Structure 1
Amino acid sequence: MNQLHNAFTLFVSLLVEAMPFLLLGVILSSVLLVWVDERKLIKVLPKNPLLGAFMGSCIGFIFPVCECGNVPVARRFLMQGIPTSVAVGFLLAAPTLNPVVIWSTWIAFRGQPEIVLFRILGSLAIATIVGTVFSVQPDPKVLLQPRLSQRLKYLQEVAQPQTTAVKSPLLQTGTFFLGASPQGNMPLEAVATQMPETIVPAPQKTTKEKFAALLLNISQELRELGAVLIFGSAIAALIQVFVPREVVLSLGQGTVTSIIAMMLLAAIVSICSTVDSFFALSFASTFTTGSLLAFLIFGPMIDIKAVGLMLSIFKPRFILYFFMLAGQLTFILALGYSYFA
């Protein structure tokens, strides 16, 4: 009973810690939807896969979201037609390459500025490499869950070709396509299956209408992603309580085993990237610097909460490849740092 109480306490703490950042990500994605013309955004992005992945990795400086908030923003990017390499680069790098996380890491490791530097450079390099790898698949629809794939297919094949002279009618929420027909809002299920013959472009909205659309989209995405976040936080809390901490710590004696142990710990504890540097600092006396670096790089990219949120967007096979590539590159980077730095 005491363990269940501890698990519930951890569950609530994880949820309270993560929910504000999920809300921030949802708000940013909704702002992109309502106020940003996606055609202009796509025009300024480089077409080269490597440069596109690099640019996507650097967008985190503009959108300071953690691993809970980057998923809805990445989803919006994909729905806007942004290349896969850009979205994947952002998905990996945004939780680390933003001013809030960089500042918190500097505060925690001000006596070891090399950790701050290598965390930034390592995250940027891994995100760029993984984003470039996934650019081999130029069509993101095969990576997405069927529901999102239908949305994107509709935008590409029906909506956009008929609205080249007007503002592109993006999906206005996660469930409805607002103003897509003379009758008003159209459920996406109907849009994907019926494919109406005529699509009336959405008129220019007033400021009041934009704020209404903003609030509607925020509430819809919170319902979709919040449920997944709750489920992921519950799993993370149960693992932290019922898997003895000594089991993980006992693996941290060697160079290789300590890196693997800290990567596993990062995935299990699912600590927000804005505060994970202080958690890593508590292990500085028992773990190698390379393993601490692996924790700081790998944790924001892949943890239980993030995987749960990604499953609402991507197919499991994509997440598996995503996980394996990021994990291998993080391990190589941390091992190289341990032997050569």
Structure 2
Amino acid sequence: MSQLHSAFTLFVSLLVEAMPFLMLGVILSSVLLVWVDERQLIQRFPKNPLLGAFMGSCIGFLFPVCECGNVPVARRFMLQGLPTSVAVGFLLSAPALNPVVIWSTWIAFRGQPEIVLYRMLGSLAIATIVGTVFSIQSDPKVLLQPKLAQRLKFVQSVNQNQTAVASVSPLLQSGTFFLGGQQAAPLEAVAAAQMVAAAPVPDQRFRDRLDALITNITVELRELGAVLIFGSAIAALIQVFVPREVVLSLGQGTVTSIVAMMLLAAIVSICSTVDSFFALSFASTFTTGSLLAFLIFGPMIDIKAIGLMLSIFKPRFILYLFLLAGQLTFLFALGYSYFL
């Protein structure tokens, strides 16, 4: 009974910790939908996959979101037609490269500034490499969940045939879909339809966009909030019923300590804004390379984040993402341990 009580306490704490950042990410995502012209956004990104992945990774410096808030923003990038390399680069880098996390890491490891530097460099390099690798898939709809792939297909068709969309009069239904005639159109069509419709009175345009903003926030919170609750419940159960000593017992050698801290990062699912203080508690028993592995891998892949990623990508894609990011993090931490 005490274990169930502990699991519930952890579950609530994970939700309280993650929900504000999920809300922030949803708001940023909705602003991108309503007030940003995706055509201009796409044109500003380089066509080269490597440069696109690098630019997408660097955007993380501008968005104060953790591994919960980055998912809705990355999903919006995909729906606006940005290359997969940009979305994946942002998805992996934003939780570790945003200003709040950099500041908290500096506070925790003030006596070891190299940890702050190598966390930033490692996160940026790994996100760029992984984003470049997945850019090989030219059609992003293959990687997406069927529902999201249908939305992307609709948005692409809207951008290709704007005149046809302008002739459709959307009707709001249940805050989730807009209906034009007998054909259901996803919420993402609002921004495209507004761009091509006849320009209304400025005040009316602002009210329409504000209504679309509020509606989209409600929809995304309903979709992603349910996933976050499920992922937090799984993370809490694993933390309680899988003894932490099993993971920590692996941390005796250089290689095993890196593996142990990566596993611990995935299990505890702690927010990247405070994970540096959690890692600091292991500084006396684990190597610096393993601490770096924890600080780099945790914000990219943890159980809570995987649940949110399933709202965007197919499970097979997330498995490849997990393996590739894990291997690169391991190699980076191992190289730091032996050469720096």
TM-score (ref. length: structure 2)? 0.91
Would the aligned equivalents of 1:174 and 1:217 in 2 still touch at CA under 8 Å?
A: no
Q: Which residue of 2 aligns with 1:258?
A: 257
Deviations 1:153-200 (A, max 9, x none): 1222x3111217999x9x99997454x63x5x96348x99xxxxxx99
Q: Which residue of 1 aligns with 2:25?
A: 25
Match for 1:249: what amino acid? L
Deviations 1:128-160 (A, max 9, x none): 00000001012100000111111111222x311
Q: Equivalents in 1 of 2:278, 2:305: separation in Å?
A: 18
1:164/1:133 Cα in 2 relative to 1: closer, same or farther (>3 Å)?
farther
**Deviation, structure 1 residue 105:** 0.4
Match for 1:285: what amino acid? S
Q: Show structure 1 runs of 5+ residues with no match.
A: 193-198
Would the aligned equivalents of 1:175 and 1:187 in 2 still touch at CA under 8 Å?
A: no
**Deviation, structure 1 residue 325:** 0.5
Match for 1:119: what amino acid? R
Residues matched between the structures, number: 330
Q: Equivalents in 2 of 1:276, 1:44: separation in Å?
A: 34
Would the aligned equivalents of 1:144 and 1:314 in 2 still touch at CA under 8 Å?
A: yes
Would the aligned equivalents of 1:97 and 1:123 in 2 still touch at CA under 8 Å?
A: yes
Q: Equivalents in 2 of 1:107, 1:321: separation in Å?
A: 34
SS in 2 for 1:206: helix
Q: Which residue of 1 aligns with 2:72?
A: 72
Would the aligned equivalents of 1:45 and 1:52 in 2 still touch at CA under 8 Å?
A: yes
Q: Equivalents in 2 of 1:244, 1:316: separation in Å?
A: 27
Q: Equivalents in 2 of 1:79, 1:316: separation in Å?
A: 19
1:213/1:173 Cα in 2 relative to 1: closer, same or farther (>3 Å)?
farther
Q: Equivalents in 1 of 2:227, 2:165: separation in Å?
A: 36
Would the aligned equivalents of 1:229 and 1:308 in 2 still touch at CA under 8 Å?
A: yes
Would the aligned equivalents of 2:176 and 2:219 in 1 still touch at CA under 8 Å?
A: no
SS in 1 for 2:97: coil
1:91/1:284 Cα in 2 relative to 1: closer, same or farther (>3 Å)?
same
Q: Equivalents in 2 of 1:98, 1:121: separation in Å?
A: 13
Would the aligned equivalents of 2:283 and 2:291 in 1 still touch at CA under 8 Å?
A: yes
Q: Does 1:114 align with 2:114?
A: yes
Q: Equivalents in 2 of 1:141, 1:321: separation in Å?
A: 16
Would the aligned equivalents of 2:163 and 2:196 in 1 still touch at CA under 8 Å?
A: no
**Deviation, structure 1 residue 83:** 0.4
Q: Which residue of 2 aligns with 1:88?
A: 88
Q: Equivalents in 2 of 1:89, 1:174: separation in Å?
A: 34
The alignment's C-alpha RMSD in Å is: 2.7
Deviations 1:265-289 (A, max 9, x none): 0000000000000000001011100
Match for 1:116: what amino acid? V
Q: Which residue of 2 aligns with 1:297?
A: 296
**Deviation, structure 1 residue 245:** 1.6
Would the aligned equivalents of 1:8 and 1:237 in 2 still touch at CA under 8 Å?
A: yes
SS in 2 for 1:96: helix
SS in 2 for 1:67: coil
1:175/1:321 Cα in 2 relative to 1: closer, same or farther (>3 Å)?
farther
Would the aligned equivalents of 1:173 and 1:216 in 2 still touch at CA under 8 Å?
A: no
Match for 1:283: what amino acid? F
